Amino acid sequence: MAAVNHSATEETKKRHKHEGPQKHIVAYIMSLILTLIAFAAVIAGEVNTSFIIFILLMMAGLQVFVQMGFWMHMKDKGHTYAIIGILGGIFIAGTMIIMAEFWAWW
Amino acid sequence: MSAHSHVDGQLPHEPEKATLEGRNKVLGFWLFLGAEVVLFGTLFSAFLALRDKVGDGNPTADELFNLSTVAIATFILLTSSLTSVFATQAMHAGKKMAMIWWLVITVLFGLGFLGLEIYEFSEYVHEGHGFTTSAFSSSFYTLVGFHGAHVAFGVLWISIIIGQVLKKGLTVVTAPKVYVSGLYWHFIDVVWVFIFTVVYLMGKVG
């Protein structure tokens, strides 16, 4: 076993409780509900376009938060560089999207 | 000093982080996902800028899109993301065959999604919405098609990983690949959340 020890980190040495599937099923159901709300808002429609779009973007944002947090483990510790990588991408992508949405047909 | 010489065949907990190479793979993959955010961000920005530019007599988003097809596709991809996370959990528990079955189910859902998308695109072409019909159609096919290409690549990649795990077993070398492909699959699902929101639902709202 000595050969293995050099690679064992603090994280792998301590015993992990193997988490059950409950947390992920909750994330799945939350994603389903958020999706349903978004579809229902469009099907019900007829209210106010900008209000519906606001609801849609809120639901998408929340769903991404749930999925990246739970399924991609971004809420777990040791994900600082993951968050920096994704936020860096979002910064550039967000600049492009704001440009296209508000300034492309100025 | 190979790290995968476990005499008792027992994998460490979180085997994807057990070696420096594994940890580097996960870190590098997160940076790749950051670059993917930029790639899809630019495609989304092109679509947002061009989504009203249909030209004369060409089909608009509202006329084309069928929300029930989109709802089914969304459900399939969301469920495949759940089965993918179950595969990662089975990998953490060291249950190789359970992990492989969850991966197989994930791949099948991915194929189902692709089949639906191919059917959807062929319907659109029949309705006069080709790649070169309008600026809207070009930006639509580029964005949604790029996502579909990512699904197709994921299906291929995960299938190859299933083959490798069957051949070489679940080790500290193969485990990071399983983990990273799971991250990729979730990321594809996250991109789809924005596609069904921005392209389909906002297309219906106007």
Nearest in space to B59 (alpha carbons), one of B141, B116, B130, B139: B130
The tally of domains found in chain B comes to 1
Q: How many CB pairs under 8 A join A and B?
A: 165
pLDDT category at A16 given cuts 50, 70, 90 is low
Residue B40 lies inside a defined structural domain of this protein: yes
CB B17 within 8 A of CB B106: no
Q: Hey, are the CB atoms on B78 and A92 less than 8 Å from each other?
A: no
pLDDT category at A8 given cuts 50, 70, 90 is very low
Other beta carbons within 10 angstroms of residue B120's beta carbon come to 17
| Residues 6 or more apart whose Cβ sits within 8 Å of residue A77 | none
Mean pLDDT lowest among A30-34, B5-9, B106-110, B176-180: B5-9
Q: Which residues of A touch B23 (CB under 8 A)?
A: 9
In the predicted model, what is the mean pLDDT of chain A? 81
Q: Does B74 reach chain A within 8 Å, measured CB to CB? A: yes
- Distances in Å between the Cα of A98 and the Cα atoms of A70, B41, B48, B159 are 28, 10, 9, 38
Q: Is the pLDDT of residue B30 over 90?
A: yes
Query: Which regions of chain B does DSSP assign to beta strands (E)?
Result: none
CB A30 within 8 A of CB B193: no
Q: Is the pLDDT of residue A5 over 80?
A: no
pLDDT category at A105 given cuts 50, 70, 90 is confident
Q: Give residue A25's pLDDT.
A: 92
* Per-residue model confidence as pLDDT tens digits over B38-51: 999 999 999 999 99
Residue B1 lies inside a defined structural domain of this protein: no
The CA distance from A8 to A51, in Å, is 52
pLDDT category at A10 given cuts 50, 70, 90 is very low
Nearest CB partner across the interface for A38, out of B23, B81, B201: B201
Alpha carbon A7 to its chain's center: 31
Q: Give residue A70's pLDDT.
A: 87
- Could you say which residues from 4 to 23 on chain B have a Cβ atom under 8 Å away from some Cβ of chain A? 5-8, 12-14, 17-20, 23
Q: Give residue A72's pLDDT.
A: 87
Q: Give residue A3's pLDDT.
A: 43
- Distances in Å between the Cα of B106 and the Cα atoms of A25, B183, B193 are 16, 13, 18
Domain boundaries, chain A: 22-75, 77-106
In the predicted model, what is the mean pLDDT of chain B? 91
The CA distance from A1 to B67, in Å, is 57
Nearest CB partner across the interface for B49, out of A41, A59, A104: A104
Residue B94 lies inside a defined structural domain of this protein: yes
The CA distance from B155 to B114, in Å, is 10
Q: Is the pLDDT of residue A15 over 70?
A: no
**Hey, of B105, B197, B199, B200, which one would you mutate to test binding to chain A, going by the most A CBs within 10 A of its CB?**
B197
Q: H/E/C letters for each residue in chain B? A: CCCCCCCCCCCCCCHHHCCHHHHHHHHHHHHHHHHHHHHHHHHHHHHHHHCCCCCCCCCCHHHHCCHHHHHHHHHHHHHHHHHHHHHHHHHHCCCHHHHHHHHHHHHHHHHHHHHHHHHHHHHHHHCCCCCCCCHHHHHHHHHHHHHHHHHHHHHHHHHHHHHHHHHHCCCCCHHHHHHHHHHHHHHHHHHHHHHHHHHHHHHHHC
* Per-residue model confidence as pLDDT tens digits over B86-124: 999 999 998 999 999 999 999 999 999 999 999 999 999
Q: Is the pLDDT of residue B4 over 80?
A: no
Q: Which residue has the higher pLDDT, B7 or B165?
A: B165
Nearest in space to A51 (alpha carbons), one of B185, B206, B179: B206
Q: Give residue A104's pLDDT.
A: 85
Q: Is the pLDDT of residue A17 over 80?
A: no
* Per-residue model confidence as pLDDT tens digits over A59-82: 999 999 898 988 888 888 888 888
Domain span at B154? 16-53+61-205
State ipTM: 0.84
Here the CATH number for the domain that contains residue B123 is 1.20.120.80
Residue B129 lies inside a defined structural domain of this protein: yes
The CA distance from B134 to B60, in Å, is 10
- Distances in Å between the Cα of A23 and the Cα atoms of A3, B91, B95, B98 are 35, 17, 19, 19
| Residues 6 or more apart whose Cβ sits within 8 Å of residue B189 | A67, A71, B77, B78, B80, B81
Q: Is the pLDDT of residue B75 over 90?
A: yes
Q: Does B95 reach chain A within 8 Å, measured CB to CB? A: no
